[in-house]
Structure 1
């Protein structure tokens, strides 16, 4: 039953991703219906992460004090209701509210999942997070294809939101019975009873965790700004069709499926070095996307690579490294810190990107946000000391 529960958790995170990533490929149609500006559209594409950020630290507090399963199931219900409400919006203000509510539930779920599985898979934490990331990437892969297909079939962008919201509620109901507490409630101290952590800082908010948080902020702004407006860039600047832009977004998710490999590597090599190399790769790929005016085929390859490094390598390793930067009994707070730092400023990354586009054009805006900004993350990682991680060799 543990295996069944684990697969259901992965499935729930896949639906989480579908709820998030169905919005960007439908954004041109949503903007047309409501008359939103590019800045408003960019904000709506990423402002759900504000809800995630608001949920992060409170969720971390709750996870250290209450059952993780309770937080997990409640969170799925919250984000599913937010998704179902999105097509009911009458304008910018209430659509913003529904997106933030959806993000709040997604943030709670992220913190609950990674705290629970971080405690259960102590020695293989990176790999386990990579598998969860695989579920997320499958959602990123299929959501644009399903969303655009349903929009074409029914003549409205509303259909995907109703489908994905309903799917989330069904998964929440199944989780009540199929996700067992043996998976969600394990204490790390019981899994590794002989280790001592006197060499680590006593506070959960220490040099390593805070340096990783700065890197996490930068990564969230760069990657989510890119994700939020990438289909709009392809359609308005490169004149792709909605179907071609949806396929490019799906290939981002396909690249993110390498999260299993990225997480596996993070358990075996210097995680700081792996994150630095991944940030450098994202910067180089950003140049290719926004500066070379690549043809359709090459653009698809670059989208795949951005997904591989941005979603498959950076996301699971930042998350697991932050849990390794604190003592085992503090992983709930580390999980909350990750969610808040990664998604907090990411909420405004689409707005920032849109403002840069209006001021400088797509090429220079891409260089600033997707190429130069990750270098700040590289600088922050220079302060990380893996020798003080809780998985360091004695």
Structure 2
């Protein structure tokens, strides 16, 4: 199986690098800010039954509201990539956190489906601004271990995705309703805006990607000069499939647990939240993606995910079984697929376009996912929970496995013109 070298040649005019301790600390602050997105996004589906009862809307509308934030993420992803060419990554991150935090607070004062959909979508815009800048900054600073570093961010997001529902249920119970978690998480976001803008060094966030002229000719000559090349399109299609499958599960899985299996709020929060802990496998997955053929990693993960998706809604009905399956879903989707596909997207273009490629990835993954909850709700109405899971969480991922195998890794930026560099 081919191996891929992790190293890149740093640009000669790169900013002075931070000490290891400061760099790790900075990464930790940014990871916490990224994890807050997981808290704010994942708490909504767990609170959805109470929100529906309070505001009075149906399952389809609820599924749409649970995923509409991804529409904002996707639509803002590509413009955010271009914005990085005009503003510092640190500034874009801070603005993104501010928008996300403000709209999270506004969610708590929404009065209906319309205004809540706007607030949720705009929170996604803020998330996109932060994500594109954050992944570009971390990818450039830790270029020698790009996928591993991105895996670390995914772990932070996963921890936030676990803590968000678990703490959110407790906050809602202690402070009198579903609005409390949105107030708390939004205010935490405002604090983080100040921390990032004040204490995060540009020596971390503004390290440049190496340009084509600074890399050996054989490193880039075989890589398509166009951003929208064949590999990027294939990876985008695969990312869209992963997004639709994953967010169909995220949107209505808590509702399934409560309305079909009879789980209480605490058990539902645990089962839904453990999905986030599955992202802990992102670190070994990132290291694997740095070294091995990403097509095989993604295809195997999609096949495994198809089996897990089937069992989630047509398998064990006890809490222990659901905890295990939800963790496995998180491990596949958040721990392996998101990290590997994002890193592959950056490899599919020449290094100076890596930030723009991240923007394309964010759009490809999230725009279709915005309608995943509505689609899953419609399938549930037409075919029941098991039928919906069969089509959206099983058949669809298998189609994605077929698509990703068409990617030509010989055209990646860290592969030689005759094939993957370092192949054994």
Q: TM > 0.5 between the two?
A: yes
Residue 368 (structure 2) aligns with: 345
Give the match's secondary structure for 2:57.
Answer: coil
Q: How does 1:133-212 map to 2 (within 5 A)?
A: 133-189=154-210, 193-196=214-217, 197-212=220-235
Report whether the alignment pairs 1:368 with 2:391: yes
Partners of 1:154 and 1:64 in 2: CA distance: 44
Residue 405 (structure 2) aligns with: 382
Q: How does 1:321-360 map to 2 (within 5 A)?
A: 321-360=344-383
Q: 1:60 aligns with which of 75, 78, 81?
A: 81
Partners of 1:16 and 1:296 in 2: CA distance: 26
- The CA deviation at 1:42 is 0.2
Partners of 1:223 and 1:292 in 2: CA distance: 18
- The CA deviation at 1:376 is 2.0
Q: How does 1:243-392 map to 2 (within 5 A)?
A: 243-392=266-415
Partners of 1:191 and 1:10 in 2: CA distance: 30
Partners of 1:168 and 1:257 in 2: CA distance: 23
Give the match's secondary structure for 1:112.
Answer: helix
Tell me whether 117-126 or 141-150 shows the greater mean CA deviation: 117-126
Give the match's secondary structure for 2:144.
Answer: coil
Partners of 1:63 and 1:332 in 2: CA distance: 8
Question: Does the 8 Å CA contact 2:212/2:350 hold for their aligned counterparts?
Answer: no
- The CA deviation at 1:378 is 1.2
| Runs of 4+ residues over 4 Å off in structure 1 | none
- The CA deviation at 1:382 is 2.1
Closer/same/farther in 2, CA of residues 192 and 17 from structure 1, 3 Å limit: farther
Structure 1 length normalisation: TM-score?
0.98
Post-superposition Cα deviations, 1:260-306, rounded to whole Å, max 9, x if no partner, equal: 11111111111110001111111010121122244221111111111
Post-superposition Cα deviations, 1:47-103, rounded to whole Å, max 9, x if no partner, equal: 000100111010011113321111111100001000000011111100001001101
Give the match's secondary structure for 1:88.
Answer: coil
Unaligned runs of 5+ in 1: none
Partners of 2:393 and 2:103 in 1: CA distance: 29
Partners of 1:191 and 1:27 in 2: CA distance: 49
Larger Rg: 2
Partners of 2:171 and 2:100 in 1: CA distance: 21
- The CA deviation at 1:194 is 3.7
Tell me whether 60-69 or 199-208 shows the greater mean CA deviation: 60-69
Structure 2 length normalisation: TM-score?
0.91
Question: Does the 8 Å CA contact 1:288/1:294 hold for their aligned counterparts?
Answer: no
Give the match's secondary structure for 1:188.
Answer: coil
Paired residue total: 394
Partners of 2:240 and 2:109 in 1: CA distance: 32
Partners of 1:195 and 1:102 in 2: CA distance: 41
- The CA deviation at 1:192 is 9.8
**What's the C-alpha RMSD, in Å, of the aligned pairs?**
1.3
- The CA deviation at 1:386 is 1.2
Partners of 1:375 and 1:97 in 2: CA distance: 33
Tell me whether 328-337 or 178-187 shows the greater mean CA deviation: 178-187
Report whether the alignment pairs 1:226 with 2:221: no
Report whether the alignment pairs 1:12 with 2:33: yes
Give the match's secondary structure for 1:239.
Answer: coil
Partners of 1:163 and 1:32 in 2: CA distance: 22
Give the match's secondary structure for 2:172.
Answer: helix
Question: Does the 8 Å CA contact 2:212/2:352 hold for their aligned counterparts?
Answer: no
Residue 34 (structure 1) aligns with: 55
Question: Does the 8 Å CA contact 1:130/1:316 hold for their aligned counterparts?
Answer: yes
Residue 110 (structure 1) aligns with: 131
Unaligned runs of 5+ in 2: 1-21
